[in-house]
Amino acid sequence: MTHEAAGVPTTRNDDDRQDDDRQDENVQDQGSQGQDQDRQDQDRQDQDRQDERPGRPDDAHAETAPPAGAPADGADGGPAGQARPEARLAHAVRVAEQALIEFEIAVETFRVEVENFSRLHHQRLGPMYARLDELDAQIAEARAARTGDPEDLRKAQEARAIVMPMPGVDELFHDWMDSDGLSPEAGAMLTEQPVRPPKRVRPTEEARKLYRELARKAHPDLAQDEEERARRDEFITRVNAAYGRGDEELLKELAQEWAAGPAAPEPELGEADELYARLNWLTQRKELLTVLAQELEQSAIGAMLRMAPDDPDHLLEEIAEQLLGEVSQREAELTALVQ
């Protein structure tokens, strides 16, 4: 308690003592502030040393923390960063589907080439083969008439039988049926439409490009239900027919039609057993296509196509020249026998 508080007037000595007390308090305040500053500096140094130590819990947490938008542990049925087995299986199914589509496009492209080559081969070279068979029969008959040998007579009869065989079912319907059933020519005649034979063995590059794009977009194997599959089947049938005829304009119209139609639904992730069944079906389908591809390659027409893969139309011209040469030789031989 000060004298002022007790009602006693202050003196000069009292004022001096009060000044000394205020100075002592200021010194104490400055000392405590310096100690607080020292403690803060020490804390920062300790924190810096901890930051430099390896294996800090904060570092481990930073390394294992999932990126923004990624599911946390257990959100997808497993540790973060690992997809569910169904997701991996669904990805495998999508990859297998695309691979099958590409393989089927290649097989169908080759099938169209084989069928067109066979048809053009029959149209362009059929009369030459028939002429050769007739000349062979006449030569055999002329030789048998000159020699009278029973063996020559037998050969003459066999040669004539080749020229005029007994027609069978295959021969009767050869020009009316193809791999898709009724041939376009037969259908055109039955409906009184003009016949449109293929213009060439291999359609133009633009037609092939349009066909591949349409097959990839509208392939029936991409359907998610039976209604969608039926729609795609009907559309792809028209695409195949247009490509078989090399009708580039019709393919462009079909491309516009598909672009204006309903968009294909996004594939939905199914259960594991459904995905396995889908993979099994894709495998079986690929095996069937492999057999078909082998049959096409091993056929006579397929073997001929492999002789000129870059220009099959020119191959027909070369064969025609060879046949014309053989016809000339046979005619000369026949002329020598009958003179």
Question: d(Cα 123, Cα 118) in Å, to the nearest integer?
Answer: 9
Confidence of residue 70 (pLDDT cuts 50, 70, 90): very low
Helix (H, G, I), strand (E, B) or coil at 109: helix
So what's the pLDDT on residue 65? 46
Task: Say whether pTM exceeds 0.75.
Answer: no
So what's the pLDDT on residue 247? 87
Helix (H, G, I), strand (E, B) or coil at 49: helix
**pLDDT tens digit sequence for 206-244:** 998 999 999 999 988 888 888 888 889 999 999 998 888
pLDDT of 54 above 50: no
**Contact (Cβ atoms closer than 8 angstroms) between residue 212 and residue 205:** no
Confidence of residue 76 (pLDDT cuts 50, 70, 90): very low
Kindly write down the DSSP assignment for every residue of 181-241, as one continuous string: EE-HHHHHHHTTPPP---SSSS--HHHHHHHHHHHHHH-GGG-SSHHHHHHHHHHHHHHHH
So what's the pLDDT on residue 169? 43
Question: d(Cα 108, Cα 43) in Å, to the nearest integer?
Answer: 77
Q: Is 146 exposed, middle or buried (0-12, 13-18, 19+ CB in 10 A)?
A: exposed
At residue 279, φ and ψ (nearest 5 deg) are -60, -40
The percent of residues above 70 in pLDDT, for the chain, comes to 61
